[in-house]
Amino acid sequence: ERYEVSAYDMPEPESGQAAYARVNYREIPLDRMDEAIRTYRDKTLPEVRTQNGSQGALVLADRSNGKIIAIALWDTEANMNASTPPGYVDAISGGPPVRETYEVTAEA
């Protein structure tokens, strides 16, 4: 699989280091990929940015198979758990994503 960076919203380096990540996995109908990517870029990422502790987000897409990975970064586990993932893409993908959380252990 090969993913392109479809949307990207990261703070300036001096804003702090991300400590936790929420990773959402989705499958999108191929004929709706552009719509899903626009929705992430224009609605989801700006809303995530306003939530307490947000350290940025990015969306990866594999247009050949309809898979999307959205990664939101957080300063603390408490802020990540208190945040509300926007559901704008749920209607396009036919439901909520598979969601996993991780501790960020290294970044460059």
Instruction: Give the model confidence (pLDDT) of 44-84 as tens digits.
Output: 999 999 999 999 999 999 999 999 999 999 999 999 999 99
List all residues 6 or more positions away from 1 whose beta carbon is below 8 Å from its beta carbon.
Answer: 62, 64, 65, 67
For the chain, the distance separating the N- and C-terminal CA atoms, rounded to the nearest angstrom, is 23
- pLDDT score recorded for residue 16: 63
Instruction: Give the model confidence (pLDDT) of 80-106 as tens digits.
Output: 999 998 999 999 999 999 999 999 988
Q: Show the domains of the chain with their CATH numbers.
A: 4-103 (3.30.70.100)
Spatial distance between the Cα atoms of 28 and 20, rounded to a whole number of angstroms: 26
